[in-house]
Chain A
Amino acid sequence: MRDFFQHITRLFLREVRLVATDHSLLLTLLIAPLLYAFFYGSIYSYKVEEKVLLAVADDDKSELSRAFLQQLNKMQIAAVTGARDLQDAQDKMYYGECQGYLYIPRGVEKKVLALQQADIVLAVNAARFLPSSELAGGITTLALTVGAGVRLKYNEMQGLNSQMALRETQPVNLDYRPMYNARSSYGAFLLPGLLALILQQTLLIGLSESMALDKEKGRVPELVKTGGGGLSATLWGKGLFYMLLFCCYAFFFMTVNYTTLNIPFRGRVLDVAVVFFLFFFTLIPLGIWLGSMFRSQLMAAQMMVFSTYPVFLIAGYAWPYESLPVPLQWVSSMVPTTPFLRVYQSIVQMGGTLGDNAASVLHLVALSGFYTLLALLGLRRLNKRQQSIYL
């Protein structure tokens, strides 16, 4: 047992030396995680988009239309920019100066006062998803509010007292309660996942590069020898450096980054610590196995770069897992990110516990066992091959 720990310590120190002397590893493992976390994090620091530009062509030019536009401009989501006419409003959108346009035809106020339905037209550039949907939602709400105001006035004119008139105005009301992200902001949703993804990808890229470098230089037998000949000691001795480093990063992200970016943390610290430990315990053998398959450090870096977006997209975070085609759901289930993000999101954002997510925790444990097996097989294969070359 003492020997085992000695081997692990030697391998740990060997990895420290390797990282310290390799520019690429140094950059990927020590600079990139921190840089990315602040850099990417800052994009969403305002969390929500505000003041989406909307061109308005007001042919009515009435008191009602001016009041409507005034209210529109007061909304957090919209900022009104004037247009001479419909054509001008359209052109503004084509040139990218606004995200849509509102057209108020002549006679709107007249019709409303005569208790006739009046039409206004909104066109938004739905090729840009987020601003257009927010804008359309906001203006729809405003139109409904104006409608309610007209009904209130009508009810009052019918002789109802103001309380009764108000009750009659809107008999059925919608009470919307967005839970765990009160402002429904894109930033609050994406940031926790993004920080976890940064940890995952820098660990995987760095570790697979390091393993590929050992392979490229024919140093796998020496690596196994430093581990006392045991593949398990080799795997965890090499991985220990990454485990410690990324546990520190996780702690840093969950404290400093969460504070600076105002991300709420609703769960228990111990639960999130356990799930991060389990996550790294799965990623380390995965990184070593992946690295053992690349022929060089350069190839490892090149290939791993292109894994970032696909892994995130199939993990069920940005796009629901159930909405993926079934074969991709199988692939997604083989990626540690999928069960990890489920548990992590539940703990961090919703205040869930490990017990609430027992199935996903077990899923992560099973993946850890599976990738450990693959990593051990990969190490054995490389060790045998490189030993035979030396012989």
Chain B
Amino acid sequence: MMRSIIHIMIREWKRILTLPEHYIVLLVLPPLVCLLYGYIYNNQFARDLPVAIWDESHSPLSRKFAFMLEQTESIHITQQVDNEASVQKMMEQGIIQGAIHFPEKMDDHIKSRQPVYITVYTNTAAVVTAKLIYKDAAKVLITAGSGVTLQKFVKTGMPAGKAMALVQPIRLTSYMLYNPQYNYQQYLVPGLIAVALQMMIIMVTVLALNLEEKRGTFAELNAMANGSASNVLLGKGLAHLSVGWLHYILVTCIVFPLFAHGRIGGSWPLFILFTLLIMGCISIGLMVSAIVSDVMVACDLGLFYTSPAFVFSGFTFPRWAMPWYDQYYAWLMPFTPFLDGFFKVYFMELPMHYVYKEAGQLLIYIAVTFPVALLFLQRKLNKLSLQHA
């Protein structure tokens, strides 16, 4: 049995190295896709977004505020406008992503105890840039506003400490753990790469058995396996698992350290979780391949099954904000529990015992799909043996 499995594994590796449907997806695409994803976010942050200033105040204070806004990471003042219609028009034309309005007589109003309203406009049709502009503008304007309040209290002769306590009675110290600067590269690249790798494994394993039928090599495989479906599945599965490990080396030794501040080689919990994901993907792929004989239909099933994995997993938009049926659908894909565990072992660097639940969930995919694959393949092999007899 062991000999048969090893022979099938070596044979599968030869197929991976010679069939373009296999080697392009498993060996050529992974480095290309990984490097591309890393490179897309090479700038890490969206900087210097074009913002207009609508200054009706023309005062030293408005100039000071504008200077402070320009010093932020995301805001770059590129236009001067004089009405709201121009702000709107420029946004429609894509010239600016935001605008700041300083009202008339701003300084006088502040001095005469009349509250002033500084308006921040953002083009929120593009929510990523809008949030960055708002975050930086709010930080500057709130700080500046607090400064004005502080000065007012100090001018009344109040001690600085007490004045500060009145300006900010509750000081909130915020810690943005695991990605303090909201670095897009550090955040998105690992998730995008993991989803691409699981897609690649599934898109190839859905062809692992039916392509043999199509190319007329199924009988040879049957003979090599001595008619045992488990030999076939284990042999092929091990070959694809070793490809998955190559991907793991590529990702954790080159891509993550280079583009996502990852630790070289990852960690044992990450390796175990990744191995379970790959095993789950292989099992699912082999099950589809054993059931569906038409390679194109199997490929389409692989496509429809894997392509929504990223959005359904909750990586960019949380699962709890989705309707209940989408939350259930998300659990049909092994990427969902993997992602939950991945956050813990990769970003949070937690030990294995925090991801027992996710590891167990990943095992369920294998426990369900592997026996189904075994059943269907054994039936096919039995039928083939009967035909030969």
In residues 349-368 of chain A, which contact B (Cβ within 8 Å)?
Answer: 349-353, 356-357, 360
Q: Are B326 and A43 in contact (CB under 8 A)?
A: yes
- Indicate if A159 sits at the interface (CB-CB under 8 A): no
How far, in Å, is A305 (CB) from chain B's closest CB?
5
Any chain B CB within 8 A of the CB of A16?
Answer: no
Chain B residues lying within 8 Å of A139, measured Cβ to Cβ, are 172, 174
B15 CB to nearest chain A CB (Å): 15
Residue pairs across A and B with CB atoms within 8 Å: the count is: 335
Within 139-157 of A, Cβ neighbours of B (below 8 Å) are at 139-140, 143-144, 146-147, 150-151, 154
A23 CB contacts on chain B under 8 angstroms: 294, 296-297, 300
Rounded to whole angstroms, the CA-CA distance of A301 and B120 in the bound complex is 46
CA of A205 to CA of B307, assembled, Å: 13
* B93 in contact with A352 (CB, 8 Å): yes
Contacts of B365 in A (CB 8 A): none
Bits for A109-128, please: 1 = Cβ < 8 Å to B, else 0. 00110011111111111111
A277 on interface, CB distance cutoff 8 Å: no
B308 & A39 in contact (Cβ 8 Å cutoff): yes
A298-B141 in contact given A122-B173, A328-B40, A345-B126 (Cβ < 8 Å): no
Is there contact, CB below 8 Å, between A170 and B145?
Answer: yes
Contact assessment for A180 and B124 in the assembled complex, using a CB-CB cutoff below 8 Å:
yes
Q: Taking the complex as formed, is B380 at the interface, i.e. its CB lies under 8 A from any CB of chain A?
A: no
Please report the C-alpha to C-alpha distance between residue A51 and residue B321 in the assembled complex, in whole angstroms.
Answer: 9
How many residues of B are in contact with the other chain, CB < 8 A? 114
- Distance (whole angstroms) from the CB of B318 to the closest CB of chain A: 5
Which among B21-29, B245-253, B282-290 touches the partner chain? B21-29
Given contacts A171-B115, A177-B119, contact A319 B46 (CB under 8 A): yes
CA distance A151 to B162 in the complex (A): 12
Does A173 interact with chain B (Cβ within 8 Å)? yes
Are A352 and B92 within 8 A (Cβ)?
A: yes
Partner of A108, one of B24, B149, B170, B312: B170
Q: With A and B bound together, what is the CA distance between A41 and B84 in angstroms? A: 33
Q: Does A330 contact B (CB under 8 A)?
A: no
Whether the Cβ atoms of B21 and A302 lie closer than 8 Å is: yes
Are B203 and A297 interface neighbours, CB within 8 A?
A: no
Q: Are A325 and B43 in contact, CB atoms less than 8 angstroms apart?
A: yes
Task: Give the residue name and chain of the B residue nearest to A119 (CB).
Answer: B171
Distance of A62 Cα from B92 Cα, bound (Å):
50
Q: Is B344 part of the binding interface, using a Cβ–Cβ cutoff of 8 Å?
A: yes
Residue numbers in A under 8 Å from B264 (CB-CB):
none
Q: Is the CB of B116 within 8 A of A45?
A: no
B94 adjacent to chain A (CB < 8 Å): yes
6 pairs of A and B residues whose beta carbons are closest in the complex: A172-B145, A127-B347, A352-B92, A49-B321, A189-B127, A181-B124
A-B contact sample (19 more), CB < 8 A, given A24-B296, A117-B164, A172-B144: A43-B322, A51-B320, A94-B350, A119-B170, A144-B142, A146-B170, A150-B166, A151-B166, A177-B122, A184-B127, A190-B317, A299-B24, A301-B300, A302-B25, A303-B24, A308-B307, A310-B33, A319-B46, A320-B128
Q: List 17 A-B contacts (CB under 8 A).
A: A116-B162, A120-B170, A128-B343, A136-B174, A171-B116, A173-B115, A173-B145, A176-B122, A177-B119, A179-B124, A186-B127, A295-B20, A298-B207, A301-B300, A306-B29, A320-B129, A357-B94
